[in-house]
Amino acid sequence: MNLTRIFAVPALLAALTAIGLVGALLGDGIWDALAWVGLGIPAVLGIRPLLLRR
């Protein structure tokens, strides 16, 4: 496997988290929605394997 395939998903999750954190700092309204999405998606993807374990 090349490095692009290995680090693609973690880099995407890091970018979403950074966008969410910056959105939370910038203001209200649409920025709050951006923060919820940016921080919610990585959280859901991180918790999902724990909930789906058998």
Q: Which of 46, 47, 16 has the alpha carbon at shortest distance from 34?
A: 16
Say which residues have a Cβ less than 8 Å from residue 39's Cβ, sequence separation at least 6: 16, 17, 20, 21, 24
Q: Where are the alpha helices (DSSP H) in the chain?
A: 3-26, 30-52
Give the count of beta carbons closer than 10 Å to the beta carbon of residue 35: 19
pLDDT at position 53: 81
pTM of this prediction exceeds 0.75: yes
Are 43 and 21 in contact by the 8 Å Cβ rule? The answer is: no
* pLDDT per residue as tens digits for the range 3-49: 999 999 999 999 999 999 999 999 899 999 999 999 999 999 999 99
Read off the amino acid at residue 18: A
